[in-house]
Chain A
Amino acid sequence: MTALAASGPVATRDVVRPAARALRVALVGNPNCGKSTLFNALTGRRQRVANYPGVTVERVEGSYVRDGASVTVLDLPGTYSLSPDSPDEAIALDVVHGRARGIDPVDVMVVVLDAENLERHLFLATQVLELGLPAVLVLNRSDRLAAAGMSIDVVELIHTLGAVVVPAVATTGEGIERLRHAIARAVQLPKSWMSERPLDAAGGPGARYRWIASVMARTVTRAPRTGRSMSDRVDAVLLHGAWGPLIFLSVMAIAFQALFTVAHPLADGMQAILNAGAAGLRATLPAGNLQSLLVDGVLGGVGSVLVFVPQIAILFLFIGVLEDSGYLARAAFVMDRYMRPLGLQGKSVIPLLSGYACAVPAILATRTIQHTKERLATTMVVPLISCSARLPVYALLIAAFIPATSVAGFFTLQGIALLAMYLLGTVAALGSAMLFRRTILRSATRALIIELPPYVLPSARVLAATVWQRVAVFLRRAGTVIFAISVLLWALESYPRATRAAAADVQLSQSALGHIGHAVEPAVRPLGLDWKIGVAMAASFAAREVFVSTMATMYGVSRGSGESGALAGRLREARGADGRLSYSRAAAFGLLAFYVFALMCTSTIAVTVRETGGGWRGVGWAAFQFTYMLALAWGSAFMVYRAGLAIGLGGFA
Chain B
Amino acid sequence: MPLRRLKRWWNAWSAAPARVACAVDCAVDCDVERSGDCALAACKAGACATVLRVTCAALDAHRLSTLGVYEGAIVSVVDRRSGVLLDVCGTRLALNDAIAGAILVRPVAA
Contact = CB atoms under 8 A, between A and B. Distances in A.
B62 to A, nearest CB: 7
Interface in B72-110: 72-73, 78-79, 81-83, 85, 88-96, 98-99, 102
Interface in A18-58: none
Interface string A118-129: 011001000000
Contact of B57 (A236, A447, A448): A447
B90 A116 contact: yes
A120 B90 contact: yes
Interface size class on chain B is: 20 to 34
Interface stretch (A66-74, A79-87, A348-356): A79-87
A80 B67 contact: yes
A450 B93 contact: yes
A89 to B, nearest CB: 10
B65 A240 contact: no
Contact of A452 (B90, B92, B96): B92
Nearest to A329: B94
B27 interface: no
Nearest to A229: B92
B85 A235 contact: yes
Interface in B40-88: 56-57, 59-60, 62-68, 70-73, 78-79, 81-83, 85, 88
B65 A120 contact: no
A465 to B, nearest CB: 26
A218 to B, nearest CB: 16
Given A205-B66, A206-B72, A117 B82 contact: no
Contact of B70 (A204, A334, A336, A337): A204
B35 interface: no
Contact of A205 (B57, B70, B91, B94): B70
B66 A239 contact: no
A210 interface: yes
B82 A337 contact: yes
Contact of A451 (B71, B79, B92): B92
A244 interface: yes
Decide if the interface of chain B is mainly helix, strand, loop or mixed: mixed
A206 B65 contact: yes
A231 B92 contact: yes
Contacts of A231: 92
A117 B95 contact: no
A123 B90 CA distance: 14
A85 B67 CA distance: 12
Interface in A115-155: 116-117, 119-120, 123
A446 B93 CA distance: 16
B63 A80 contact: yes
A204 B65 contact: yes
Nearest to B68: A120
A12 B8 CA distance: 67
A209 interface: yes
Contacts of B90: 116-117, 119-120
A333 B62 CA distance: 20
A449 interface: yes
B67 A120 contact: yes
A232 interface: yes
A275 to B, nearest CB: 50
A419 B71 CA distance: 53
Contacts of A452: 85, 92-94
Interface in A284-303: none
Interface of A: 80-81, 83, 85, 116-117, 119-120, 123, 204-206, 209-210, 231-232, 235-236, 239-242, 244, 329, 333-334, 336-337, 444, 446-454
20 contacts: A83-B62, A85-B59, A117-B91, A119-B90, A120-B68, A209-B68, A232-B78, A235-B78, A235-B85, A239-B79, A240-B82, A334-B82, A337-B83, A447-B57, A447-B60, A447-B96, A448-B98, A451-B67, A453-B91, A454-B92
Closest 5 CB pairs of A and B: A81-B66, A447-B99, A448-B96, A205-B65, A452-B92
Given A85-B63, A241-B82, A449-B64, 18 more contacts: A116-B90, A117-B91, A120-B67, A120-B89, A120-B90, A206-B72, A209-B68, A235-B85, A242-B14, A329-B94, A334-B82, A447-B60, A447-B96, A447-B99, A449-B60, A451-B67, A452-B85, A452-B92
